[in-house]
């Protein structure tokens, strides 16, 4: 999509989770994608019109990327690069199709329709309740122990709640917060402020935690579908009652609810 133009935009229904913005297809057509990026759980395309196309997969959304190949009988689609293995034909749950000038066709499929797309002007982007206040991307160099400590300084919420707060760090979900806290041997119940000094400098806990967050996410990206099916995806998440996986720890993984979300942790080694 990057540096390609939208040649055709096909909407096969008026809405996803929310209605498509006014004149959605018209505002996209002819515009080029300057840059494709991610912010938290949003996919973001910055357009030559200065508008930003914001996309979210919701619960069940995925994009299928196919290259259109010119043949004697017209255009054939092949080279399925996306996770959905449907053929070139448009399926029941294919709600949006982008035909790009690069020859690629990008199809958004979403059976449950919790995903959404929006088109924001620079001003709307700057005032967007979620996007304008996002913390640093966890895998970027902007996110480190110092940034984490600054964000947690004086915070009287649990460390778990702080890490789920998108203003502290962007796009970290419930599962990976549990995993990172276990790896860093930090209790989800301790106060967020305890990883920083009074002036907001990182304590050793912040250094361990920032590193653990990056490790957990890199591992998640690298992990194969095979491991996922084997069920050894997580070290602590969804393992209540099992032995702690830290060497030399005899603890048992506990489960409790914090601000409406399930937390899994080892009370023995996570302090």
Nearer to Zn ion, 53 or 253 (CB): 253
Of 153 and 185, nearer to Zn ion (C-beta) is 185
* Tokens (6 digits) for 47: 């357009």
Residue 145 found at the interface with Zn ion (CB under 5 A): no
Q: Does 139 bind Zn ion (CB under 5 A)?
A: no
Residues 6+ apart with CB under 8 A from 123: none
**Nearest approach, Cβ of 180 to Zn ion (angstroms)?**
14
The DSSP code sequence of 102-148 is TSEEEEEE-SS---EEEEE-HHHHHH-TTGGG----TTSTT-SHHHH
Closest approach, Cβ 234 to Zn ion, in A, equals 14
**Contact between 10 and Zn ion (CB under 5 A)?**
no
Sheet holding 104-109, edge to edge: 6-11, 94-100, 104-109, 62-71, 74-78
241 Ramachandran zone, left/alpha/beta (phi>0; psi -120 to 50): left
Nearest approach in angstroms of CB 157 to Zn ion is 23
Minimum distance, C-beta of residue 240 to Zn ion, in the bound complex (Å):
13
Distances (CA, A) of 133 to 39, 45, 188: 11, 18, 24
User: Does residue 88 belong to the site contacting Zn ion (CB under 5 A)?
Assistant: no
Q: How far is the CB of 217 from Zn ion (least distance, A)?
A: 21
- The Cα–Cα gap between 244 and 269 comes to 9
Residue with Cβ nearer Zn ion (45 or 186)? 186
C-beta of 225 vs 247, nearer to Zn ion: 247
**Residue 212 interacting with Zn ion (CB under 5 A):** no
Task: Rank residues 106 and 244 by Cβ distance to Zn ion and give the closer one.
Answer: 244
Q: Which of residues 226-265 bind Zn ion (CB under 5 A)?
A: 244, 246, 249, 251
Binding of Zn ion by 267 (CB under 5 A): no
Interaction of residue 16 with Zn ion, rule CB under 5 A: no
Query: How many chain residues bind Zn ion (CB under 5 A)?
Result: 7
Q: Which residue has the tokens 């998440």?
A: 237
Residues 6+ apart with CB under 8 A from 134: 39, 40, 166, 167, 170, 171
Among 15, 7, 2, 3, which Cα is nearest to 96's?
15
Of the two residues 258 and 270, which places its CB atom closer to Zn ion in the complex? Answer: 270
- The distance of closest approach from Cβ of residue 181 to Zn ion in the complex, given in angstroms and rounded to an integer, is 11
Helices (H) and strands (E) in the chain, counts: 7, 11
- State in angstroms the smallest separation of the CB of 235 from Zn ion: 10
Residues that bind Zn ion (CB under 5 A): 244, 246, 249, 251, 266, 268-269
């Amino acid at each position: 999509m990057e540096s390609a133009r939208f040649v055709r935009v096909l909407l096969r229904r008026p809405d996803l989770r929310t209605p498509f913005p006014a004149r959605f297809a018209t505002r996209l057509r002819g515009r080029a994608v300057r840059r494709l990026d991610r912010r938290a759980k949003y996919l973001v395309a910055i357009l030559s019109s200065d508008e930003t196309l914001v996309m979210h997969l919701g619960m069940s959304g995925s994009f299928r990327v196919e290259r259109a190949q010119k043949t004697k009988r017209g255009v054939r689609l092949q080279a399925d690069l996306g996770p959905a293995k449907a053929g070139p034909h448009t399926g029941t749950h294919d709600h949006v199709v982008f035909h790009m000038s690069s020859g690629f066709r990008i199809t958004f499929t979403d059976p449950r329709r919790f995903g959404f797309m929006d088109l924001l002007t620079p001003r709307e982007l700057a005032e967007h309740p979620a996007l304008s206040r996002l913390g640093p991307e966890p895998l970027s160099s902007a996110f480190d122990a110092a940034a984490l400590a600054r964000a947690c300084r004086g915070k009287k919420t649990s460390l778990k709640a702080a890490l789920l707060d998108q203003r502290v760090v962007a796009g970290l979900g419930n599962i990976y917060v549990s995993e990172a806290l276990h790896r860093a041997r930090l209790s989800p119940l301790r106060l967020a402020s305890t990883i920083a000094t009074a002036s907001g400098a990182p304590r050793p806990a912040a250094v361990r935690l920032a590193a653990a967050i990056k490790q957990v996410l890199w591992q998640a990206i690298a992990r194969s579908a095979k491991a996922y099916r084997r069920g050894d995806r997580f070290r602590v998440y969804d393992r209540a009652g099992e032995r702690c996986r830290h060497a030399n720890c005899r603890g048992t993984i506990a489960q409790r609810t914090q601000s409406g979300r399930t937390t899994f942790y080892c009370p023995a080694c996570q302090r």
